[in-house]
Amino acid sequence: MDFPLSFVSQVFKDGDGSTGVLYLVSSDIGLTNEQIAIIYKRRWKVEEYHKSLKNNASLAKSPTKTPRTQENHFFASLCAYIRLENITKTAHINHFAIKQKIYIEALKIAILEIKKFCAPEFFQSEDSKFGYA
């Protein structure tokens, strides 16, 4: 590099007890290590927001073509994100865990609905696996 950089490394422990190292670099050499870490934490929250908006609120899966329907999809995705955020505060689980729980419940309901149209013997062996006996 033809300009000075500040380099910070942080050692941390994961939930499973393993350790990792996070390397942070800044072009502002006037910042302290602590200030660089604070800025990184703030920026990381924005990354988490974008990831959840894309993956959990389906922002990236817009089937829309016109500007008006795209605006509606964007608004609905933001509303879904806000709802997930509210559930997160009360349930104390993250957006991905909430989405997984919703998906599993939807699958259970779908299986029960399918059972209405199938012969009873079709599900007899599978019922015990999934707890639908």
Domain ranges of the chain: 1-48, 103-133
What integer pLDDT is reported at residue 52 of this predicted model? 93
Residue owning tokens 């599978």: 126
DSSP letters of 49-102?
HHHHHHHTS-GGG----SHHHHHHHHHHHHHHHHHHHHHHHHH---HHHHHHHH
Longest CA–CA span in the chain (Å) reads 73
What integer pLDDT is reported at residue 130 of this predicted model? 56
SS3 31: coil
Q: Quick one: angle between helices 120-130 and 95-115, nearest 10?
A: 150
**How much is the pTM?**
0.63
DSSP code of residue 27: S
Torsion region of 17: left, alpha or beta (phi above 0 gives left; psi -120 to 50 gives alpha): left
What integer pLDDT is reported at residue 99 of this predicted model? 92
Positions in the chain whose pLDDT score sits under 70 = 120-133
